[in-house]
Chains A and B, each alone.
Chain A
Amino acid sequence: MKKILVINAGSSSLKYQLYDMSDESVLAKGRVERIGMDTSIIVHEPKDREDLRYVEEVLDHTAAVRVVLQKLTDPEHGVIGSIDEIDAVGHRIVHGGEKLTQSMIIDDHVKQEIRRLFDLAPLHNPAHLMGIMAMEANLPGVPQTVVFDTAFHSTMPPMSYMYPIPKVLYKKHMVRRYGFHGTSHQYVSEQAAKFLNKQIESLKIITCHIGNGASVTAVKDGQSFDTSMGMTPLEGLMMGTRSGDIDPAIVPYAMVKEELTVNEVNSMLNKHSGLMAISGLSSDMREITDSMDSDPNAKLAFDMFEYRLRKYIGSYVAALNGVDVIVFTAGIGENSVVLRKQVCENLTYLGVKLDVERNAVRSGEDRRITTDDSTVQVLVIPTNEELMIARDTHRLLDQ
């Protein structure tokens, strides 16, 4: 078992990475964008060979998979001699619901269950299933696995995952908290334990995955105990264009006052809120921090973002009855020096002592940003969900 292809299929895109598991190196990665249009964009970045970027018509996911396999085996841009060298395919799946709670090998039952969850993840699960079918059609006989964004959070106890609303909604319509970014939270919490040379079971960890979407997870005994995203990725932190937690009564109130439809109010909270709404400038944290000295709206957006994140960290300290490690990861978490600084400088009561110089270092390595005598360690760990999917696939097929 050596070469594993990791696939992340969206509704009109397909991203891929081919791993050599003997040393966990990436042989090639790339993506097909704008599937279904005349001008699909294909990007292929092989190791030690020239990158490829061009436009052609890719009508559907099956055609996209064909393009990917062709590029991987291309005499000039390829990295393997034939598709027979691909030992397995691992798929990223956003929603596994209550039943699919760990990575597994795909069979009919798994596909059926992914389909049953279309209502809960209408943008993602149908696209994932198309990706699976397309792979099956092009690589018959090659084992395929699924790794779920929700799986890591399946260890949450009922008091974390239930909503205090009539239970019939849970029983009939699966309304409960599921959490997302699970693969990332799991990866960085495990890396954190390795970095500190400690058993993960001995640590109370709070992981902050702060990217365009953002969530915080309380990790206890190496397992997710609570996480900020809920039934959908809208709950929890303030994000680039998502509101995060608000008073639910605002929804019917705004619908009546502004005569909004269900779609409009959904789009308002998912695409027109967060940093974008408050700054009136951008949903991009870099632009916000670049402008906040001169622009009071950008400053307010930043302050709200940071304050809401810090409150979640505080509440998870209470959930865990303490904390040993706080981890920052993903786009903003890995790169925003000023966000980490403001969070840490307001957590001194916990024993967090920020090392300003360490925090200012920019690198792709796992690193500590607190002083040696800080009682709580704060780490920056670049996330790697694809590697996690490749590892899970490798493990499943070795069994």
Chain B
Amino acid sequence: MIFKKIGVIGGGTMGQGIAEMLSKKGLDVYLVEKTEQLLEQAFQMIEISLDKQIEKWAITGTEKKLILSRIHKITDKSKLVEVDMVIETITENIEMKKRVFAELDQVTKPDIVLASNTSTLSLTEIASVVNDPGRVIGLHFLHPVSRIDLVELIRGLRTSEETYEQAKYFTETVIQKKGIMVFDSPGYVTTRLICILINEALHTLQEGVASAEDIDSAMRIGYDFRYGPLEMCDRFGLDAVLAAMEQMFREYGDLKYRPSVLLKKMVRAGNLGVKTGEGFFKYDRDGDRIQ
């Protein structure tokens, strides 16, 4: 198993984070976007992220240059014939993902692993458009990718043993993160549990049991969380949490997944959290909370 060149499809938040992390580990990254402009944007965001890390002394200027030099900007998917694995990170939309995988099936070497970073969609369904569904697996990274050393390895119904072993080797040996094995199920482990907690925190807030500040303090100080559930929701994006809840509600049909009305209202109002500067709390441009 040789992993030297990795294709990353999509230059959004997760695509940027995964590309940056892979390059830091010494791998060559083929970052794919639809247009040159979107690629430039993604690349600039990675640069900003690295500059922030220099400010925090995590890396040096020389290391930044090296990291950027290993990220190759690609708009022509046929270049992916050179890669040893692909990680797809586009929008959580099943039809779009199926289109991308059908295309990847054509342009990549037939024996490499095709991974999706989906957090809620069915791996089995994504794999259905690929000639050999055995080579499709889920690699669910958490944000921020560089800081969080956990990956959910999601086995679709037809994911082969060999594909799973390769993904596990890649996760634990090549990029040195903890990989946990999860069978295809909406929300897997991480999204399912954390969204339920966030949703319950929203009910608690809505019922007037405690203030937003106090709910977060309770969980942060009481249970040693890095962020409280409401700030977590702000950081994930309220729209993303709502989409995940709705997806799980549809799939499981269980009332415990019904999204809180407050969440829906805030999304409609455009208060999406850190990315809009306001959710349950307020944030500055760097994403730091304004106290």
Residues of the A chain whose Cβ atoms lie less than 8 Å from the Cβ of B147? 261
Residues of the A chain whose Cβ atoms lie less than 8 Å from the Cβ of B4? 36
Residues of the B chain whose Cβ atoms lie less than 8 Å from the Cβ of A272? 57, 60
| B285 beta carbon closer than 8 Å to chain A | no
| B26 beta carbon closer than 8 Å to chain A | yes
| B269 beta carbon closer than 8 Å to chain A | no
| A391 beta carbon closer than 8 Å to chain B | no
Residue of A12, A241, A264, A265 with highest tally of chain B CB at under 10 A: A264
State which of A59, A260, A265, A267 has its C-beta within 8 Å of the C-beta of B59: A267
Interchain CB contact under 8 A, B57 and A260 = yes
Chain A, interface residues (CB within 8 Å), range? 10 to 19
| Nearest CB of chain B from residue A273's CB, rounded to whole Å | 9
Bound-complex Cα distance A38 to B58 (A): 27
Interchain CB contact under 8 A, A260 and B26 = no
Residue of B28, B57, B58, B60 with highest tally of chain A CB at under 10 A: B57
Interchain CB contact under 8 A, B58 and A263 = yes
Residues of the B chain whose Cβ atoms lie less than 8 Å from the Cβ of A267? 57-60
| A350 beta carbon closer than 8 Å to chain B | no
| A130 beta carbon closer than 8 Å to chain B | no
| A139 beta carbon closer than 8 Å to chain B | no
- Give the B interface residue count (CB, 8 A): 11
| B56 beta carbon closer than 8 Å to chain A | yes
Interchain CB contact under 8 A, A271 and B57 = yes
State which of A12, A38, A241, A264 has its C-beta within 8 Å of the C-beta of B56: A264
| Nearest CB of chain B from residue A62's CB, rounded to whole Å | 13
- Majority-rule SS of B interface residues: loop
- Majority-rule SS of A interface residues: loop
Residues of the A chain whose Cβ atoms lie less than 8 Å from the Cβ of B28? 38
Interface residues of A in 267-308 (CB under 8 A from B): 267-268, 271-272
Known: A36-B26, A261-B147. A271 touches B56 (CB 8 A): no
- Closest residue on chain B to residue A268 by CB atoms: B57
| Nearest CB of chain A from residue B127's CB, rounded to whole Å | 31
Interface string of B183-212 (1 = CB under 8 A from A): 000000000000000000000000000000
Residues of the B chain whose Cβ atoms lie less than 8 Å from the Cβ of A247? none
| Nearest CB of chain A from residue B285's CB, rounded to whole Å | 17
Bound-complex Cα distance A267 to B147 (A): 15
| A258 beta carbon closer than 8 Å to chain B | yes
Interface string of A245-269 (1 = CB under 8 A from B): 0000000000000101101110110
Interface string of B52-76 (1 = CB under 8 A from A): 0100111110000000000000000
Bound-complex Cα distance A327 to B155 (A): 63
| Nearest CB of chain A from residue B151's CB, rounded to whole Å | 18
Interchain CB contact under 8 A, A258 and B56 = yes
| Nearest CB of chain B from residue A275's CB, rounded to whole Å | 14
Bound-complex Cα distance A376 to B53 (A): 48
Bound-complex Cα distance A184 to B112 (A): 48
Bound-complex Cα distance A375 to B4 (A): 60
| Nearest CB of chain B from residue A33's CB, rounded to whole Å | 13
State which of A12, A36, A59, A264 has its C-beta within 8 Å of the C-beta of B57: A264
| Nearest CB of chain A from residue B275's CB, rounded to whole Å | 21
Interface residues of B in 1-58 (CB under 8 A from A): 2, 4, 26, 28, 53, 56-58
| Nearest CB of chain B from residue A304's CB, rounded to whole Å | 19
- Closest residue on chain A to residue B5 by CB atoms: A38
- Closest residue on chain A to residue B55 by CB atoms: A258
Residue of A258, A261, A272 with highest tally of chain B CB at under 10 A: A272
Interchain CB contact under 8 A, A264 and B26 = no
| Nearest CB of chain B from residue A230's CB, rounded to whole Å | 21
Bound-complex Cα distance A36 to B2 (A): 11
Residues of the A chain whose Cβ atoms lie less than 8 Å from the Cβ of B53? 264
Interface string of B137-176 (1 = CB under 8 A from A): 0000000000100000000000000000000000000000
| Nearest CB of chain A from residue B261's CB, rounded to whole Å | 34
Residues of the B chain whose Cβ atoms lie less than 8 Å from the Cβ of A263? 58
- Closest residue on chain A to residue B288 by CB atoms: A259
Bound-complex Cα distance A43 to B83 (A): 29
Residues of the A chain whose Cβ atoms lie less than 8 Å from the Cβ of B60? 241, 267, 271-272
Residues of the B chain whose Cβ atoms lie less than 8 Å from the Cβ of A241? 60
Residues of the A chain whose Cβ atoms lie less than 8 Å from the Cβ of B58? 261, 263-264, 267
Bound-complex Cα distance A265 to B4 (A): 29
Residues of the B chain whose Cβ atoms lie less than 8 Å from the Cβ of A36? 4, 26
Bound-complex Cα distance A159 to B60 (A): 37
Interface string of A20-34 (1 = CB under 8 A from B): 000000000000000
Bound-complex Cα distance A286 to B58 (A): 26
| Nearest CB of chain A from residue B131's CB, rounded to whole Å | 30
Bound-complex Cα distance A238 to B4 (A): 38
Residues of the B chain whose Cβ atoms lie less than 8 Å from the Cβ of A258? 56
Residues of the B chain whose Cβ atoms lie less than 8 Å from the Cβ of A260? 56-57
Bound-complex Cα distance A258 to B288 (A): 12
Bound-complex Cα distance A12 to B60 (A): 18
| Nearest CB of chain B from residue A268's CB, rounded to whole Å | 4
| Nearest CB of chain A from residue B274's CB, rounded to whole Å | 16
Bound-complex Cα distance A265 to B2 (A): 33
| Nearest CB of chain A from residue B172's CB, rounded to whole Å | 16
Interface string of A327-370 (1 = CB under 8 A from B): 00000000000000000000000000000000000000000000
Bound-complex Cα distance A36 to B3 (A): 11
Residues of the B chain whose Cβ atoms lie less than 8 Å from the Cβ of A38? 28
Bound-complex Cα distance A258 to B58 (A): 12
Q: Which 6 A-B pairs have the closest CB atoms?
A: A268-B57, A272-B57, A264-B58, A271-B60, A264-B56, A267-B58
* Sample (16) of A-B pairs whose CB atoms are under 8 Å apart: A36-B4, A36-B26, A38-B28, A59-B2, A241-B60, A261-B147, A263-B58, A264-B53, A264-B56, A264-B58, A267-B58, A267-B60, A268-B57, A271-B57, A271-B59, A272-B57
Chain A residues within CB distance 8 Å of chain B: 12, 36, 38, 59, 241, 258, 260-261, 263-265, 267-268, 271-272
18 new A-B contacts at CB < 8 Å, known A261-B147, A272-B60? A36-B4, A36-B26, A38-B28, A59-B2, A241-B60, A260-B57, A261-B58, A263-B58, A264-B53, A264-B57, A264-B58, A267-B57, A267-B58, A267-B59, A267-B60, A271-B57, A271-B59, A272-B57
